[in-house]
């Protein structure tokens, strides 16, 4: 079992890997039963994804970023047992000239040294306005 400090380090490492846009590496951080949930009611974005579904989502969205990735920067984290709560910000310039900057709360749950689940809470109106409006 990992310590809370190791789990914070793993959550921060996920943000670094996520920021590269390398979908295979991102998926490799997840437990085989891993899930990723996105808040809100945005069709095609919100909901729960297994590893395969997350891979498809990320492969699609990384193509709209000017540099191929959304940069995620953790700003604070707390951990208890196998759970880590992370506050973060993001930045990406899209190929259409729009800028996506959001604020997040992520809840990570770890099992066997891998991420079992991630819950992503964000400003869904901003996400909709940038990606769909």
Residue-wise pLDDT tens digits, 8-20? 999 999 999 999 9
Higher-pLDDT residue of 62, 106: 106
What does the pLDDT read at residue 2? 87
Q: Evaluate the CA torsion angle 119, 120, 124, 130 in order and state its sign.
A: negative
Mean pLDDT, all residues of the chain: 96
Give the span between the Cα atoms of 131 and 64, in whole angstroms: 9
What does the pLDDT read at residue 92? 97
Give the span between the Cα atoms of 83 and 90, in whole angstroms: 22
98 with 129: CB under 8 angstroms?
Answer: no
Give the span between the Cα atoms of 117 and 30, in whole angstroms: 8
Q: Mean pLDDT over residues 53-73, rounded?
A: 93
Helix (H) or strand (E) holding 50: strand 47-50
Burial class (CB in 10 A: 0-12, 13-18, 19+), 6: middle
Confidence of residue 99 (pLDDT cuts 50, 70, 90): very high
Confidence of residue 124 (pLDDT cuts 50, 70, 90): very high
């Amino acid at each position: 079992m990992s310590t809370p400090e190791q789990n914070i380090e793993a959550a921060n490492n996920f943000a670094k890997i996520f920021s590269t846009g390398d979908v295979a590496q991102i998926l490799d951080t997840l437990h085989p039963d891993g899930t990723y949930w996105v808040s809100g009611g945005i069709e095609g974005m919100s909901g729960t994804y297994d590893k395969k579904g997350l891979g498809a989502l990320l492969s699609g969205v990384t193509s709209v970023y000017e540099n191929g990735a959304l940069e995620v920067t953790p700003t604070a984290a707390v951990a208890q047992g196998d759970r880590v709560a992370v506050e973060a910000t993001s930045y990406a310039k899209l190929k259409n000239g729009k800028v996506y900057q959001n604020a997040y709360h992520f809840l990570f749950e770890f099992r066997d040294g891998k991420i079992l689940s991630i819950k992503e809470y964000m400003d869904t109106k901003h996400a909709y306005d940038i990606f769909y409006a």
